[in-house]
Amino acid sequence: MKITFMLNDRKVTWDALPGESLLDFLRRHHVVSVKKGCDGSTCGVCTVLMNHKPVLACTVLAMRCTGEHIHTVEGLADEVEKISEAFGIEGADQCGFCNPGIALSLYALKRENSNAEASEIRQYLEGHLCRCSGYQAQVKAALRYIGGGQS
């Protein structure tokens, strides 16, 4: 079945398979920044933005996206660059597998609360699993990004 939605501010119409997750749907259509981690909504790696709110693409049916606005890191290159810079400065950038989902969540948090403190950042990023870090550098990087300066 064909569905029409906005992907990174561009209207697209693609075929979706019955019961197909948004994660598999996007990857099948070559949106490869959306990663497949646990496939059970426990790791946060597949996070995308649906109408500017983080959702786990492995738990959303592709059919549900009809008429919705979906953003991936490809559609937020300028903001992702700022997030990447903050991660680099704070030494929080490790293997990079979890970074797209974390970046999208941080972008959404900044839109929602540009004065977020460390405790709020930790709560917002809860569920984003990273096997390379102890999370402290990621929180410092998030503070740098959200605050637009030093952590």
Angle at 37 between CA 35 and CA 39, to 5 degrees: 110
Residue 101 pLDDT grade (very low, low, confident, very high; cuts 50, 70, 90): very high
pLDDT of residue 148: 64
State the pTM of this model. 0.90
Domains (range + CATH), the chain: 2-72 (3.10.20.30), 75-147 (1.10.150.120)
Residue 147 phi/psi, 5-degree rounding, is -80, -10
H or E, element range at 142: helix 136-147
CB-based contacts of 92, cutoff 8 Å, min separation 6: 86, 133, 137, 138, 140, 141
Tell me the average pLDDT across 98-106.
91
E-only strand ranges, the chain: 2-7, 10-15, 47-50, 53-56, 69-71
| Nearest alpha-carbon partner for 84 in 103, 60, 104, 65 | 103
Question: How does pLDDT run across 13-71, given as a tens digit for each residue?
Answer: 999 999 999 999 999 999 999 999 887 888 999 999 999 999 999 999 999 999 999 99
